Structure 1
Amino acid sequence: MKNILLSALLIALLSCKSRFNIVDRPIDFNDQRQDLTLEYLSDRYGLEQDSPKITPRMIVLHWTDIPTLEQSFKAFEGATLPNSREGISSAGALNVSSQFMIDRDGTVYRLMPEDVMARHVIGLNHAAIGVENIGSEKMPLTKSQLKANVELIRYLAKKYPIEYLIGHYEYTNFVGHPLWLEKDDSYRTVKVDPGEDFMNAVRKRTKDLNFKPNPPNK
C-alpha cells in the first residue's frame, strides 16, 4: 500500500509539473522583418550583425492595452508599423512585437524565437525578452496570468543568463547602464504596464532566482 501511495504521489507531482506549456503561434518573420530588425539594431544601437539573434539578459513584462488575444496578435503580425503608431515611427519602420504573449486564462504563446530581437522596449531590445499580457489599466491582469508569468520566467531563467526582471514602466531606470544602447536621448515614451502591484507579486514569487536589483531611478 505504501508503494502504491508513493507512486500515485509521484504521478501527481509530475502531472502538476507538466501543466506549464508553451503554444507556438509565430508572427510573420519574413525577409522584410529580418532586414528591418537588422536595421534597427544598427541605427538605434550601433550593432552591426548578420542575424537578428540576441543574448537575453533581461525579461520585460508588459500588458498589451488591447483587449483580446486575436487583436493583439494582429497588431504584432505585420513586419512594419501601422500608420497609427506615429509616436514611435521616427525610430524605425520595424513593427512592435514580443517573444511571448499570455492570454487572460494563462495560456502562453510563443510568437517568435526567444533569442531573436523583438521591438518592445526602448534602449534594451538587444538584450531583452518581452512578455506581453492581454490586459490594461481598466482590465487588470489575472491570477492565471500571474501564475503563467512566474512559470515562464523560471523556464527562461534556466535557459539564458537572465540578470534582470523588469516591468515596462521601469525601463528608463537603465538609461546610462551598460545595457542601455539607445542613441537618441529624446526617444522616450511614458509607460505604466504591467502595473506595480503585478510586478510586486511576480517578484515575490521569483525572489529565489536572485535577479539583480534595478538601477536607481534618476
Structure 2
Amino acid sequence: MVGLTLAGKTYRGAALFDLLGTSLVKAYQNPEPGSLANDLLWYLWTGPYSPLFGKQKMTTFERYFIEDKAAHDEQPNPYYRLRHEPAFVQKLLRAFGLDGERGHIINGHTPVKKGNSPIMANRQMLVIDGGFSRPYQKTTGIGGYTLLDNSYGMQLVAHQPFVSRQDAIAHLTDIVSTRRVVETEARRRTVAETDIGHQLQVQICLLKARLQRLTSGQ
C-alpha cells in the first residue's frame, strides 16, 4: 500500500491527513524556510501523494514548451478510479470515523466531464464543482453544481451556463437549474442529530449541572 514516507515512517489515510493538517498549522504559525512543515506546504501543491493534488505529476512546464500532447498527460491517482465503488467509499468513511452506511464524500473543485454523472458509488460519492468559470464549461457542458442538504434530504442542482446580461434581458431568461434528488430522509433530521446539536447537548448538560449545584447550595 502506497503512502508518504518520512524518516522511515509511511503515512496514509487518516494518519496522513493528521500529519498534513498539523504541518499546515505549523507552517502558518512559523513559516521557517527549510522546515519540514514548510516543505510539506509546498508538497501539497504538486506532490504525488498529496490529497489536494491527486495526480502523479503536474505538467504545466510541458504544456508551455512541448507540443506533443502525450507529455501533457496528468495521470490521476487510483482514488479517481476507486471512488466509483461503494465498498471503497464506505471503507474510506469508516477510516475517518464516519458512518460507512449513511455517510457521503463530497468532492469539490472537480469538474465533471460532459456525459458523466456527478453521483457515484450508490449515491455516497458526490463530485461537484461551482463551474461558473467559462473555460470549464466546454468540458462540463453546464454552469456548475450546487449541493443542497437539509432536514428533508439531499439534492444536487445543475445550472445551465449564464451567457450574458444582454442575452438574459433580451430573452427574459435567468440561470436555468435542474434538481436531482440524491437522498430523501424517511424521518426529518433534527438539530440534535447534527455535530452542532451534539455540542449543544454537552453545553446543556453542563448548564444543568451548574444549576443543580447552585440550587443545592454547593
TM-score (norm 1): 0.27
The structure with the larger Rg is 2
TM-score (norm 2): 0.27
